Amino acid sequence: MSVKGAGRLLLGGPANNLFSKTLTVIAAATLLSCSSHDSVKTAKTQAAPATQVAVGNEPPRRLRLMTATQMQNTMAYVFGSGITVPSSFATVTRNDGLIGVGTSFAGVTSSQIETYQKTASTVDALIMSERYRNFLMPCTPKDEKAADDACARTYLGTVGKLFYRRPLEPERLDEYVKDANEAAGRLKNFYTGLGTVLEGMLISPRVLLVSERAEPDPKHPGHERLDAYSLASRLSFFLWNAAPDAPLLAAAESGELQTPKGYAKTVDRMLASPRLEAGMRAFFDDMFQLDDFNNLAKDGQIYPAFTGTAVQDAREQTLRTTVDHLLVKNMDYRDLFTSRDTFISPSLAAIYKLPTNPGWVEYEFPKDSPRVGLQTEIGFLAAHAHPGRSSPTLRGKAMREILLCQPVPRPPANVDFSALENPDPNIKTQRARVALHLKNPVCAGCHKIMDPTGLALENFDGAGQYRTTEKGEAIDASGVLDGHSFQDVNGLAVALHDHPAVPACLVKRVYAYAVGTPSGSVDPAIMENLDKQFVTGGYRMRALLRSVVMDPTFTMVTEQKQPVPAAKTASATAPLSAAGTH
C-alpha cells in the first residue's frame, strides 16, 4: 500500500475526520470569533497625540483564505524548495482592484475543499517518502514499523507551529500525537501514521484560513490590537507572501514583537530579507492584474509570434522589471513609466524584433525607441487588447483603473455596439473607429476619459508589436490625460510620471493589500499621512512598505461591522469576512 493510499483508507483517521468536518467548520467560520476573549468590543474614538494618526477608524479584523502561492512559499520554507503545491486553489474575485482584498470575502465550496485535500495528500506522500524524510525529519524513529511518541511529538510540534502560525495548544498536540501513534500501529509504519496527521493538518481551517485574533491595546485604552501571532502573520503574508518564519514566531512568542524596538527590528529584518522579492512579486502581480494572463490568447493567424511561451514571459518581464527597479535599484516608483530598462527573453525578442539571446538578459531600449515605461511592454499592451486587434478603450481603461485607481463605470446593458463591430470599411484606424463612441451620448462620458489616453499606444498592435501605419494610414498617437496634452507615447510616459494620482494609487493599493480591507473604508487621514511620507521618501518602495507597517493602524483592529450571513449548508459558499475561526 502506498503512503498516499494509506492516508485515505485509514477509516476514522485524522485526515478523513478533519476532511469531513472542514466544510462545516469553514461554513460556520463567519460566526466565530478568534479573539482570546468572548467578543470584540467596538473601538471608541479617543484623542490621540498630535504626532500620530487619530485612531477610531482602524481596519477590521479579517479572516482571509490562503492563496496557492502563499501555500507554495510556506511549503518551500518549511520543507525546502523541492516541495511544491501541485494544484491551483480557489479562484478569488477582485475587491477594490485586488485579489489580496478579495480573499477576505472569498467563499469555499465542497469541490474546492476536495482540491485542498488532494493537494495535502500529495504533499504528505512526498514528505514521508524515503527521498525526502531522511533530511526533512528532525528525528528518526526507533522502529519504522511502530509508533514513536517522542519523535512524532518533536516533528508535529515543529511543523504544526509553522503551519498554524502559532504554537499548538498542548491538548491539540497530544491529540495529533495520539492519532499518529494509532495510525502507525494499525498500518505498521511510523511514517505512514505521521503522514495521515500531516495531511489532516494541511487541510485544517486554521491553516487554510488566516484568522486574526485581537487583544486590548495598552497604548490606546478602549481599542484593540492584533495579538503577537496575528501581527506576525499580517506582516509575513504582506511582505513575504508566506506564513511567518521561525524567528518571526519567536519574536511573537517572547513578546519582543509587541515592543516598539523589537517591532522595528523585525520590520527591518524582513525588509532586508531576499524573501521580500517574493512578497512584492505577489503584490504587483495582483495590482497590475497579471493573473489575466492565465486566460490570455491571441489569434495565431494574425500574431504568429505571440506564442504560449511569450504569454508567460510577458508576465514575467513586467515582474522582473518592477522588482529590479523598485527593490534592487531602489528607484522612484514614477520612473517605472519613463524608464527604458527591462529584461528580454528569446520569445519576447521575436515580438520586440531584437537579437535573440539565451535566457533572460537585461536590456535598455535606445532613447529614440518608442518603448518607454511599463505601459509599452508586451504585457500591458497585449493584455489590454482584443485577440485580433488593439484597443484604445481597453488600454485607456486599464491606465485609469490600474495605474490611477479611478474606476470606470461599466457600459449600460442596452448599448448598441453594432457600429463598432461592423464599422464603415472606409474607417481604417482605431482612432476613427473609437470616435464613434462620442456620437452616442450614453457612451461619450466614459470614453472621453479612456480613449484619448489609450490612443497614445496605437503604435502598438494587439500583440504589442510596433507599427507606424494601420491599413495604410499613418497612426496619430497624440492624446491627453487630465488636461495634459501630448503628441506621442513619450509624452504619455511623462504625463503618467507627473500625474499625482499615480503614486497615490500605489499607496492606496499597498495599504489595502496589507490589511485586507477595501481602501474606500479606510480613514482618509491614514491615506493622507502615508501619501505625504511617500512623497517625502522620494517615492521609494521600501520606504513606503516601512511606512505602512509602522503606521499605528497597521497593528490596530476593530470589530467587523458589516452583517455576516449565516451559512445554510456545508456545501454552500461561505463568505470569509468575519473575525476568524478556532
Per-residue pLDDT, 4? 30
Per-residue pLDDT, 415? 61
Per-residue pLDDT, 515? 94
Per-residue pLDDT, 59? 78
Query: Which of 58-67, 225-234, 507-516 is the least confident region?
Result: 58-67
What's the grid cell of residue 41?
468590543
DSSP per-residue string spanning 318-357: HHHHHHIIIIIS---GGGGGT--EEEE-HHHHHHHT----
The predicted model gives 55-61 an average pLDDT of 69
The predicted model gives 81-104 an average pLDDT of 81
For the chain, first and last CA: distance in Å?
A: 35
Phi, psi dihedral angles at 163 (to 5 degrees): -80, -35
pLDDT band at 444 (very low <50, low <70, confident <90, very high): low
Give CA–CA dist 319/30, Å, rounded.
35
The predicted model gives 22-41 an average pLDDT of 37
Angle at 363 between CA 362 and CA 365, to 5 degrees: 160
Q: 574 or 455, which is more confident?
A: 455
- Cβ neighbours of residue 439 under 8 Å, at least 6 residues apart? none
Q: Is the full-model pTM beyond 0.75?
A: yes
List Cβ<8 Å contacts ≥24 apart for 417-423.
Answer: none
Give CA–CA dist 176/197, Å, rounded.
6
Give CA–CA dist 301/303, Å, rounded.
6
Of the chain, the percentage scoring pLDDT greater than 90 comes to 62
In which residue are the cell numbers 501571532 written? 229
pLDDT band at 329 (very low <50, low <70, confident <90, very high): very high
The predicted model gives 259-282 an average pLDDT of 98
User: What one-character DSSP code corresponds to residue 362?
Assistant: E
Per-residue pLDDT, 134? 84
Per-residue pLDDT, 11? 28
Phi, psi dihedral angles at 281 (to 5 degrees): -60, -40
pLDDT band at 314 (very low <50, low <70, confident <90, very high): very high
List the chain domain ranges.
Answer: 3-272, 292-498
The predicted model gives 556-563 an average pLDDT of 63
The predicted model gives 508-515 an average pLDDT of 96
Query: Which of 47-61, 134-148, 301-315 is the least confident region?
Result: 47-61
Report the mean per-residue pLDDT for the chain: 84
Query: Which of 150-159, 301-310, 434-443 is the least confident region?
Result: 434-443
The predicted model gives 447-476 an average pLDDT of 92
What are the helix and strand counts (H, E) for the chain? 26, 11
Give CA–CA dist 373/332, Å, rounded.
13
- Whether residue 334 has pLDDT greater than 80: yes
Q: 400 or 220, which is more confident?
A: 400
- Whether residue 98 has pLDDT greater than 80: yes
The predicted model gives 59-79 an average pLDDT of 89
The predicted model gives 443-467 an average pLDDT of 88
Per-residue pLDDT, 279? 98
pLDDT band at 432 (very low <50, low <70, confident <90, very high): confident
Q: 499 or 293, which is more confident?
A: 499
The predicted model gives 303-309 an average pLDDT of 94
**Which range scores top for mean pLDDT: 278-292, 434-448, 560-574?**
278-292
Per-residue pLDDT, 32? 37
Per-residue pLDDT, 464? 96
Of the chain, the percentage scoring pLDDT greater than 70 comes to 81
Q: What is the largest CA-CA distance in the chain?
A: 84
What's the grid cell of residue 38?
468572548
Give CA–CA dist 275/246, Å, rounded.
14
- Whether residue 203 has pLDDT greater than 70: yes
Phi, psi dihedral angles at 251 (to 5 degrees): -65, -35
- Whether residue 467 has pLDDT greater than 60: yes
Tens of pLDDT, residue by residue over 204-257, are 999 999 999 999 999 888 889 999 999 999 999 999 999 999 999 999 999 999
pLDDT band at 417 (very low <50, low <70, confident <90, very high): low
- Whether residue 51 has pLDDT greater than 90: no
DSSP per-residue string spanning 415-467: ---HHHHS--TT--SHHHHHGGGGGSHHHHHHHHHHHHHHGGGTTB-TTS-B-
DSSP-based three-state secondary structure for 387: coil
Between the CA of residue 495 and those of 149, 173, 373, 383, what are the distances in Å? 66, 59, 12, 22
Query: Is 238 exposed, middle or buried, given 0-12, 13-18 or 19+ CB atoms closer than 10 A?
Result: buried
